[in-house]
Amino acid sequence: MSDTPTATEHPAPSASSARWMQGAWWATALLGVATALTALSARDAAAAWVASGSRPDAVDWEELEVGASGAMSLLALATFAALVATIAWMWHTHRHLASVRSHPSRWGTGWTVIGWFIPVVNFVIPKVLLQESERVALDAAGGPRRTLSWVGHVFWVGWVVGSIGIGVATVVWDGTVDLAALESIDRSAVLDAYTWRIVGGFGLGVAGAAGALHLRRLHRLVVAAGGAAPDDEAA
């Protein structure tokens, strides 16, 4: 009896999990754009205060920063939800595709989780694993050789740019506007932080939209690779 896992032993990710994953990425897309736009408005207000030094301009800036910080906080929640859903989906996908691989994977299933949390290489390993799953699913489909989806590359570029942008923004400035101690605020750091927020927000906006579309397609391929008909509701 063969020791090779079967699709029955390790079923494909469920349709509901795919829907949650796609929904979380769409939420990330919307909140990424919202973060970028609110940061743009807040940066303009901060620049006005930097130029004038007046308290009324500082008050206007503080009010806009409240909205900008709120958008970024919601973006963090949406991104976290998208990551959790994607990691769970990748875990089940890796196990499911073991039954249709022509040769064993170089990566153990555990890498679908820990690969996201190792600094620096977390910008490489998850992408490699997603591409491997796509190749295996395409090979299982047979027919003419098809190339990897360019949308998947856009997703990953947006993810890297967005993650770095938001990460740098939070390191450069913590978002605190203290009207009682305006003189102590590093004005150049504030403007730099907003620039990084704008870059990061738009990056995650692109990543969210491209990720939702790419993972929708990939889910259909993975389900079909195991011999089942793709679930239209999940795709």
156-209: pLDDT as tens digits = 999 999 999 999 999 999 998 988 888 899 999 999 999 999 999 999 999 999
Task: Round to whole Å and give the CA distance between 135 and 129.
Answer: 10
Top-confidence range, 11-15, 29-33, 141-145: 29-33
Kindly state whether residue 25 falls inside one of the protein's structural domains.
yes
Please give the share of the chain, as a percent, with pLDDT higher than 90.
Answer: 71
Kindly state whether residue 6 falls inside one of the protein's structural domains.
no
Confidence (pLDDT) at 229? 47
Buried b vs exposed e over 32-52: b needs ≥16 C-beta within 10 Å? bbbbbbbbbebbebbbebbee
Kindly state whether residue 211 falls inside one of the protein's structural domains.
yes
Kindly state whether residue 5 falls inside one of the protein's structural domains.
no
Number of folded domains that form the chain? 1
Rg (CA), the chain: 22
Kindly state whether residue 169 falls inside one of the protein's structural domains.
yes
Kindly state whether residue 118 falls inside one of the protein's structural domains.
yes
Task: Round to whole Å and give the CA distance between 87 and 84.
Answer: 5
Confidence (pLDDT) at 104? 74
Kindly state whether residue 235 falls inside one of the protein's structural domains.
no
Q: Is 138 helix (H, G, I), strand (E, B) or coil?
A: helix
Question: pLDDT tens across 101-149, in order?
Answer: 767 778 888 999 999 999 999 999 999 999 999 988 888 776 555 667 8
Kindly state whether residue 126 falls inside one of the protein's structural domains.
yes
pTM above 0.75, yes or no: yes
Confidence (pLDDT) at 231? 52
* pLDDT, average across residues 76-85: 98
Q: For residue 32, what are the contacts with CB-CB under 8 A and spacing of at least 6?
A: 75, 162, 200, 201, 202, 203, 204, 205, 206, 207, 208
Contact (Cβ atoms closer than 8 angstroms) between residue 123 and residue 160: yes
Q: By residue range, what is the domain housing residue 208? A: 15-225
